[in-house]
Amino acid sequence: MFDFLNPEVQVNHEMPEPQDNEYSEVAWGIPKFGEPIKQLNIPRPKVGDDDVKLDILYCGICHSDVVSGTNELPGFLSLYPCVAGHELAGKVVEVGKNVTDLKVGDKAGIGCFIDSCFNCPMCLDEQENYCFKMPTYTYCGQKTHGHVGGNQAIHTFGGYSGSNVCHQRFVFKLPDDMPLEKAGPLFCAGITMFEPLYNHGALEGKKMNIGIAGIGGLGTMGIKLANKMGHTVTAISSSERKKDLALGKGAHNYVAMSNKESVSGNMASLNLIIDTVPVHHDIKPYMSLLAPGGTLVLLGAVAKDYDLSLMDLIPMRNVTCSVVGGTRVTKEMVKFCHENEVYPDIDIITADKLNDVWGELQKVGNASSTRYVLDIKASLK
């Protein structure tokens, strides 16, 4: 069982009965703050003209599900009942009359958000993850943009559920031969690592030296992607403990930050470092590993400011951040992972194990290289 560590701010709602424009669906979630995950029923919007209904077969379980569900994620207000899950994979069972790229029977997936304003510069460039008016998250999201149907007074519910309905823009067609049990985590770990690689030139044909800091679920996915893109990959971790794991996933080199010789031997060698460490840490040592003109990309949702001076940016070193990915890059990610057979390492579970898995993830965070995946149909047996 997991713990609730932030009781000061919480928002509990009564679950309303489905309206005429909704249907009732089975789900697994936290009914009220402080309670364990239980089976419950939630209202889902019926299919509108631009909507797709996805019969969810699998949903990946992310560490951010846990810190969101327990109300610990910086900048994120958890709303209860909380049905988590933003790594959905399944089959299309119904489409609206305006849907063009998906049909009944297609394999498809849904990621971390299901709506945005559609009109700001970022949305117009299909980078909805940076929507100026904030995207609507797949769970605990407010229906502010008008493209999510059903009762507008309730928040969104995620993929630990039998089905979901959302706008076609945020439902991604999957190749017929893509394994659905491995597809869900691509919409979190996959796109989270693919986006900074894509945005910082890793697919432009020039060979790079790329560092991946933090060798857990995100880090191992990043190693696999950078390797398949043809780059020299250096895994970066605090100690030697994960060296064999990193090299086994495709890293060519390994830097243990606790080993001065390991660090000094790789000074100014990396064009790009993607830092997946989910907690506050000293990033200055990473800067010394960057080559002139190199970039450090921070992925962790950390509330505390980092200690960095202008001198740390000399010569011409850069620091930026990245948050999942928009629809344009997500489509590229799906194509790349399919063509190159890049998938996460997974462990499939049923819903009766959710509380235990959340408890484990609360202890180890993203340290494990394995992504848990919820088997929806098996959970209903």
Q: pLDDT of 194-250, one tens digit each? A: 999 999 999 999 999 999 999 999 999 999 999 999 999 999 999 999 999 999 999
pLDDT at 9 over 70: no
**Regarding predicted confidence, which is higher, 76 or 123?**
123
Residue 280: what pLDDT? Answer: 84
- Tell me the backbone φ, ψ of residue 173, rounded to 5 degrees: -70, 135
Q: What DSSP line would sit under 149-185, residue for residue? A: -S-TTS----SSBSEEEEEGGGEEE--TTS-HHHHGG
Q: What is the pLDDT of residue 290?
A: 97
pLDDT value of residue 6: 55
31 contacts 14 by C-beta, under 8 angstroms = no
Say if residue 369 is exposed, middle or buried (CB neighbours under 10 Å; 0-12, 13-18, 19+).
buried
Instruction: Give me the pLDDT at residue 77, please.
Output: 77
How much is the pLDDT for 8? 55
- Per-residue pLDDT at 4 exceeds 90: no
pLDDT above 70: residue 281: yes
Q: What pLDDT digit, counting tens, does each position of 35-79 carry?
A: 999 999 999 999 999 999 999 999 999 999 998 888 887 677 789
Res. 29: pLDDT tops 60 = yes
Instruction: Give the burial class of 360: count Cβ atoms within 10 A of its Cβ; 0-12 exposed, 13-18 middle, 19 or more buried.
Output: middle
DSSP state letters, 112-142: SEEE--S-SHHHHTT-GGG-TT-PEESSS--
Quick one: pLDDT at residue 237? 97
CA atoms of 212 and 233, how far apart (whole Å) = 7
* Average pLDDT over every residue of 295-301: 90
What is the per-residue pLDDT across 164-194, written as a single tens digit (0 to 9) for each?
Answer: 999 999 999 999 999 999 999 999 999 999 9
The H-assigned helical ranges of the chain are 63-69, 121-124, 180-183, 189-199, 217-228, 243-249, 260-264, 284-289, 327-340, 354-364, 376-379
Q: What is the mean pLDDT of the chain?
A: 94
96 and 52 Cβ atoms separated by less than 8 Å: yes
What pLDDT is recorded for position 366? Answer: 60
Instruction: Specify the higher pLDDT residue, 177 or 309.
Output: 177
Residue type, 353: K
- Using the predicted structure, report yes or no on whether residue 32 has a pLDDT greater than 90: yes
As a whole number, mean pLDDT of residues 105-131 equals: 98
Instruction: Kindly calculate the radius of gyration of the chain based on its CA atoms and give it in whole angstroms.
Output: 21
- Cβ atoms of 309 and 249 within 8 Å: the answer is no
* Structural tokens at position 28: 């697994």
pLDDT for residue 286 is more than 60: yes
**Most confident among 7-11, 181-185, 282-286 (mean pLDDT):** 181-185
Q: What are phi and psi of 319, to 5 degrees?
A: -130, 130
Closest CA to 235 of 274, 278, 193, 207: 274
Helix (H, G, I), strand (E, B) or coil at 77: coil
Coil, helix or strand at residue 28: strand
Residue 5 has pLDDT above 60, yes or no: no
Q: What percentage of residues in the chain have a pLDDT greater than 70?
A: 96
DSSP annotation of 97 reads T
The answer, yes or no, to whether residue 325 has pLDDT greater than 60, is yes
Band of residue 7 on the pLDDT scale cut at 50, 70, 90: low
Residues in the chain: 381
Lowest model confidence (mean pLDDT) among 51-65, 114-128, 288-302: 288-302
Can you tell me the distance from the alpha carbon of 257 to that of 276, in angstroms, rounded to the nearest whole number?
Answer: 15
